[in-house]
Amino acid sequence: MKVLVVGGGGREHTIIWKLAQSPHKPELFAAPGNGGISKLATCVDIKATDVEGVVQFAKENSIDLTVVAPDDPLMLGMVDRLEAEGLRAFGPRQNAAIIEGSKVFSKDLMKKYGIPTAAYEVFDNSEEALSYLQTVSYPTVIKAEGLALGKGVIIAADYEEAKATVRDIMCDRVFGEAGSRVVIEEFLTGQEVSVLAFTDGKTLCPMVSAQDHKRAYDHDEGPNTGGMGTFSPSRLYSEKIHEECMKNIFIPTMKAMNQEGRTFKGVLYFGLIMTKDGVKVIEYNARFGDPETQVVLPRLQTDLLEIFMAVAEERLKELTIEWTDNAAVCVVLASGGYPKAYAKGLPIHGIETAEEDKDITVFHAGTAWNGEQLLTAGGRVLGVTAVGPNLEKAINKAYEGASKIYFDKVHYRRDIGRK
């Protein structure tokens, strides 16, 4: 069986690492892949956003399953195009991926179906947005409508900051067309937990919970990043909360998408916030999270390939998905300066030494081979992931692994897993 994974970051490395353990022994391909993925799969030089390039490759090489992992190709309709050619794909179609691609869509969906979320208003006119902003309490949250590379959410401390933000987004279009509309919403406080779920539109199977650390420096200081580390399980996500989420959020979301004629098949990511009034949805993603995947999939016992096939063929209900009762921690090693300017092309040492411990796996996020030498090729470079019987042991193990790896100006947080 031939499987193609679209993407080339830590998430995709983790997916491929798990697929490589499948008893079906699939032949693996990645587009475009990275330095770590190339040890497990054939990397083909096709960009993740090149829809026609991926479709053509899948056709010419008789790929049995294409897993579309990142958000952009999902929003571009890559799954629709693969299916139109009679090819099997894992991931939501374009009309369902909108749950991540449009903040207005997802907020309106939650309002219509009574799914708990922050109160909000939508504006397509900057003057109206500004007069509304004179009436709200602060801090308040301003979101650009469309995909803005994870940067389209601004928490404004006061009216002055809110005014400047609306001008940037709606008048100066700093996020491009993503700024044609804004959502202004109530600021919620509470810890955030991520729960990803497999769904084929009929059955929904949540994965184990995870939490991430988005700020660049310890104690949640510094600028926002794509994620500096994750751990699983969350200490806050109890069985009782899980039941509340299944009943009030997860199943209602799956059913709402069916009702709207937008059946969601793939991985639905619930970004949750634990408020004093119960659990609310902060955001939906239409895919595996990065770096949540790095701590969730190592705890999966069931064959991931079986799950992907069952979702694609709408028979998820036939499977029992099992998880190990352990913990996993991922520490991201970034290039000094990230998320601002940073160097690329720095030689990386010590990965093999770190991986001598069977509980440690180093997932590559931004690496490339230059002949025999592995070099950094991105801001987030590696995700050092460890499993252990509990969080404390997994944390220690992950840092033991991280300490053995070196590249010039390597930066990582020292407090991953401690919240």
3-class secondary structure, 140: strand
Is 283 a residue that touches ligand AMP (CB under 6 A)?
Answer: yes
Pick 148 or 395: Cβ nearer ligand AMP: 148
Residue nearest to ligand GLY (CB): 289
Pick 192 or 306: Cβ nearer ligand AMP: 192
Asked if 288 contacts 196 with a C-beta cutoff of 8 angstroms, the reply is yes
Is 282 a residue that touches ligand AMP (CB under 6 A)?
Answer: yes
Q: Which does 192 bind (CB under 5 to 8 A by kind): ligand AMP, ligand GLY, none?
A: ligand AMP
Question: Which parts of 256-295 interact with ligand GLY (CB under 6 A)?
Answer: 285, 289-290, 292
Question: Which parts of 145-204 interact with ligand AMP (CB under 6 A)?
Answer: 153, 185-188, 192
Is 141 a residue that touches ligand AMP (CB under 6 A)?
Answer: yes
Q: Which does 289 bind (CB under 5 to 8 A by kind): ligand AMP, ligand GLY, none?
A: ligand GLY
Q: Which does 26 bind (CB under 5 to 8 A by kind): ligand GLY, ligand AMP, none?
A: none
Of the CA atoms within 13 Å of residue 63, those in its CB half-sphere come to 27
- Least distance from C-beta 360 to ligand AMP, angstroms? 28
Instruction: Report the distance separating Cα 134 and Cα 244, nearest Å.
Output: 36
Pick 200 or 292: Cβ nearer ligand GLY: 292
Q: Which does 141 bind (CB under 5 to 8 A by kind): ligand GLY, ligand AMP, none?
A: ligand AMP
Q: Which does 181 bind (CB under 5 to 8 A by kind): ligand GLY, ligand AMP, none?
A: none
Burial of 135 (0-12, 13-18, 19+ CB in 10 A): exposed
Question: Which parts of 182-241 interact with ligand GLY (CB under 6 A)?
Answer: 212, 227
Q: Which does 153 bind (CB under 5 to 8 A by kind): ligand AMP, ligand GLY, none?
A: ligand AMP
| Distance, C-alpha 318 to centroid of its chain | 26
Query: In 52-190, which ranges are E strands?
Result: 65-68, 89-90, 120-123, 140-144, 153-156, 182-186
- Least distance from C-beta 106 to ligand AMP, angstroms? 9
Pick 100 or 303: Cβ nearer ligand AMP: 100
Residue nearest to ligand AMP (CB): 283
What tokens were used for 298?
Answer: 């190592």
- Least distance from C-beta 230 to ligand GLY, angstroms? 8
- Least distance from C-beta 326 to ligand AMP, angstroms? 26
Radius of gyration for the alpha carbons in the chain, expressed in angstroms and rounded: 21
Q: Which does 212 bind (CB under 5 to 8 A by kind): ligand AMP, ligand GLY, none?
A: ligand GLY
- Least distance from C-beta 83 to ligand AMP, angstroms? 28
Task: Calculate the alpha carbon distances from 140 to 118, 120, 239 in Å.
Answer: 11, 10, 32
- At residue 57's C-alpha, the angle toward residues 52 and 59, to 5°, is 95
What tokens were used for 141?
Answer: 């949250």
Q: Which does 72 bind (CB under 5 to 8 A by kind): ligand GLY, ligand AMP, none?
A: none
Question: Which parts of 67-126 interact with ligand AMP (CB under 6 A)?
Answer: 118
Instruction: Report the distance separating Cα 155 and Cα 143, nearest Å.
Output: 9
User: In 3D, which of 110, 115, 118 has the Cα closest to residue 248?
Assistant: 115
Say how many residues make up the chain: 419
Instruction: Report the distance separating Cα 190 and Cα 251, nearest Å.
Output: 23
How many chain residues interact with ligand AMP (CB under 6 A)? 12
Backbone angles phi, psi at 236, to 5 degrees: -95, -20
Q: Which does 187 bind (CB under 5 to 8 A by kind): ligand AMP, ligand GLY, none?
A: ligand AMP
Pick 26 or 289: Cβ nearer ligand GLY: 289
User: In 3D, which of 63, 109, 103 has the Cα closest to residue 86?
Assistant: 63
3-class secondary structure, 123: strand
Pick 58 or 148: Cβ nearer ligand AMP: 148
Q: Which long-range contacts (CB under 8 A, 24 or more apart) does 108-114 make?
A: 109/253, 109/256, 109/257, 109/260, 110/281, 112/256, 113/252, 113/253, 113/255, 113/256, 113/259, 114/252
- Least distance from C-beta 373 to ligand GLY, angstroms? 30
User: In 3D, which of 235, 194, 222 has the Cα closest to residue 395?
Assistant: 235
Interface residues toward ligand AMP, by CB under 6 A? 118, 141, 143, 153, 185-188, 192, 271, 282-283
Interface residues toward ligand GLY, by CB under 6 A? 212, 227, 285, 289-290, 292
